[in-house]
Amino acid sequence: MSEKEIFDKVVKILTPFVRNQDALKDISKATNIITDLQVNSSRLVDIILAMEDEFDIEIADEEADKVETVGAAVELILGKQ
């Protein structure tokens, strides 16, 4: 799967949890999930679980703690393929 395909799937997973819908228009790998997209930090568990299901991977707690940006999520998934 290409980096672009992973990016698009990550954005799709994040979208239902995003409070700042305007930020989705300019989303990039540098976009911070909590501050820019205003995703409630308690919802990150749901996002990580959705990524595990979508990409058929396992994400350890230590790895999940490092996913602060969209790009970090993409890189983590790329590394597990």
Q: In CATH, what number is assigned to the domain containing residue 19? A: 1.10.1200.10
pLDDT recorded at residue 41: 87
pLDDT recorded at residue 81: 86
The domain containing residue 43 runs over which residues?
A: 3-79
Q: Please count the structural domains in the chain.
A: 1
pLDDT recorded at residue 56: 97
Q: What angle do CA 22, 72, 30 make, to 5 degrees?
A: 40
For each successive 10 residues of the chain (81 residues), what is the average pLDDT? Answer: 97 96 95 96 94 97 95 97 86
Q: Are 81 and 56 in contact (CB under 8 A)?
A: no
pLDDT recorded at residue 50: 97
